[in-house]
Copies of this chain bind each other. A is one copy, B any other.
C-alpha cells in the first residue's frame, strides 16, 4: 500500500487564501487522479482485453480508458474555455457512456474503437492541455460552480467515479488478462467465519438532507438543496450483510422463489438467469469470489455484493421468516447513521472505514470498522437504499453537465450510500449521492433495518414532463416571465379580485384549470376551490403539485435541446392553501351535478377550446350562488380542431356582418348576466428559448342577475 502512497489523495477545498497555491493544489489533484486512473489500467496485460464487453450492458474498457480524458476536453469546449478540440474523432467516440444501457434496452452498435496506444497518446495530450489550462485559467477563491476551475474539478471527480466503475468491469475480465500490481494487488488478506448479525435500535429524529451551498468541497448538482425529513425509530443491522448471511438465502432457494422478488426483480431474474451474486462462482460445490485481480474461496465474513433487486429479495425472504418489517434503509435512515460520525473526507486523519483506498484494494470483513456498534457505516461496499434518487428542493442543474442527474430522476435509479473501498474524492464525502439502475452491479451490498411499519417511507419521484404541450403549459403557469408580461393565471385572479370588490369568497370553480396555477392562486382567497380540466395529462400536474408539493418539466431551448425546470408549492407560496384545492377531471360541457354552489366560476382560456361553448354558457348560471360571478378570459382563437365552426361563438359572419365573440357572449349571457367589466390581459407562452406565443386575452366579468 505504501508504494503508491501519493495516489491516496483527497478532494480539495474550494476555499483558501492564496490563488496560486490553490492553482497548484488543483494541478496536483488533477495529475494524481489522472495517474491513479492509468495505474488501474496498468493491471491489464494484453491490449486485447480492452475490446470485449465482459458486461454487455457497458462499453468495453477501451471506452473508459479514453472517456475520462475526453470528458475534460468536451466540458472545456462546451464551457467555451477551449476553442479547439484535440481530436474530433476520439472526442466523439469516447463521449457517451456510463448510464446509457439498460438490460432491457441493449445497444448493439458496432464501434470502431481506436488502439490502446493511440488512446494512451491521446491521454498524454489531454494531460498536457489540461495542465496548461490549469496554469492559465482565471481563478478566484472560493471556487464556485461558474468558475473554470469547477470544470477541472468536475473532470477530476468524474474520473474518480470511473476509477470505481472501471474496477467493477475489471472484476469481470478473465484473470489471465490481468497481472499483479504494486498497488492494486493490496487486497485485504483477512477472511474467516462471519459474525452473527443482529439489530440495534436507532432513535427517530428530524434531520435535514442536502449539501449546503456553502460547503467547502466540490459537489454534483443533485447533492445540493435541502429537505427536512422526520424518521421514525428503527432497528438496524450491526453489520453489512455478509457472504455467509446471504448464502443462507441462496441455499434456501431464494433465486428460485419469485415470491421474494419485486416485479422488476422477477423480470431481471428471467433475463439474467442469475442463481447467485454476480461475483460469486461455484465449482464442484465450493463457492469462490472474484475480486479485482484474484479469485478466492468465498470470504464468508466479507460483505456480499449484489444489486438492489437481490438485496430487496433477501430482505423479503428474511422478513418472511417471522413476519417482521425487514427492508433496506431509506436515504434518510442511512443519514441518521452517518450523522453519528463526525469525520469526513478530506478532513479526517485516516479514514474511519474501508474507503478512499486508505486501507485495502478490496473489501474486508464486515466487523472491522464500527461506530456505536454499527459497522461499516461508510466504506467497504456501497449500501443500497430504498430511495429512488431525486433532487432536493432547491435543486438546480449544472449547465455544463445537464444530464448528470436529471435523467436518473425517473423512479428507476436507487441511491446507494457510504462508499466502497475504492470510493475516492467526492465519492468519499458525507454528502455524496450516487444512484444506479436497480439491476446494476457495483462494489455494492447492503444492510437491512427492521421498521415498525409495513409501509416504506419513500415518495415516488416526480419525473420530468417532456410532453411538449404539457411542459409548455407548466412553464406558462409556473415558469419564468417573458417580455415583462406578468404570470397570466396570477394576473387573471388578481385582476378579477380587484374588479369585483363585492365578490363572496366561499367557493370558486376554476374551469379549464389546465396545470392548475389559477386554482392555487384562488385558494389564497377562497374557502374552497375546485379545479376541473378535460385533460388528465394537464390536470395531473396540479394534482401532483398539491400532493407532493413539487412538479417538474423539461422545456425546449433550441431544436431537441431542453432545459429542466421544477417548481414547488413552497416556492410559489401556496404551501398553506393547497389543501383547499380539489383537482378533478371533467367536461365543462357536461359537468356533474355536484359541482355547484360557487361564488365564482373562472374560465381561463376555456371557451375557444370547448366543443360546444354555447351549451356550456347556457347552463353555467346553474353553478353559481345568487350574486355570483362568471369570469371569462380568452384570446378568441377559434380553431376547427377544437370547436366545429358551426359552434363558434363569434369570429364569423352573421347575416353578412362581422359578428365577434364578444357579440356572441353578450347574446348568450345577456339574459341571465350583467356584463360588469371587460379588459385585456396579455400572456406569453414559451415554445423555445427564442420563440413565444404572445397573446392578448379579453377578460369579461359577468354578474348573475
Instruction: Give A residues with C-beta under 8 Å from B.
Output: 74-75, 78, 91-92, 95-96, 402-403, 483, 557-561, 635-638, 645, 648, 650-658, 660-661, 684, 687-698
Contact = CB atoms under 8 A, between A and B. Distances in A.
Copies of chain A in the complex = 2
A692 B693 contact: yes
Nearest to A656: B96
A124 to B, nearest CB: 21
Contact of A694 (B91, B402, B483): B483
Contacts of A684: 694
10 contacts: A75-B657, A96-B656, A558-B636, A559-B652, A560-B645, A561-B653, A637-B687, A637-B690, A690-B696, A691-B696
Given A637-B688, A688-B635, A78 B657 contact: yes
A74 B690 contact: no
Contacts of A696: 689-691
Contact of A691 (B75, B559, B637): B637
Nearest to A635: B690
A80 to B, nearest CB: 10
Contacts of A92: 654-655
Q: Identify the interface centre among A91, A92, A650, A692: most chain B CB within 10 Å of its CB.
A: A692
Given A483-B694, A560-B651, A691-B695, 20 more contacts: A74-B655, A74-B656, A75-B657, A78-B657, A91-B655, A92-B654, A95-B655, A403-B656, A559-B636, A559-B638, A559-B650, A561-B652, A636-B688, A636-B690, A684-B694, A689-B696, A690-B695, A691-B693, A691-B696, A692-B694
A352 B650 CA distance: 49
Given A92-B655, A690-B636, A695-B691, A660 B74 contact: no
Contacts of A693: 691-694
A78 B660 CA distance: 10
A698 B694 contact: no
Nearest to A670: B83
A570 to B, nearest CB: 29
A654 B687 CA distance: 22
Contacts of A688: 635-637
A403 B75 CA distance: 62
Contacts of A637: 687-688, 690-691
A560 B649 CA distance: 12
A561 B658 contact: yes
Nearest to A655: B95
Nearest to A556: B651
A682 to B, nearest CB: 8
A653 B652 CA distance: 46
B690 A648 contact: no
A693 B74 CA distance: 35
Contacts of A660: 558, 561
Nearest to A97: B656
Given A690-B696, A695-B692, A78 B658 contact: yes
Q: Identify the interface centre among A402, A660, A697: most chain B CB within 10 Å of its CB.
A: A660
Q: Identify the interface centre among A403, A637, A694, A696: most chain B CB within 10 Å of its CB.
A: A694
Nearest to A399: B658
Contacts of A636: 558-559, 688, 690
A635 B691 contact: yes
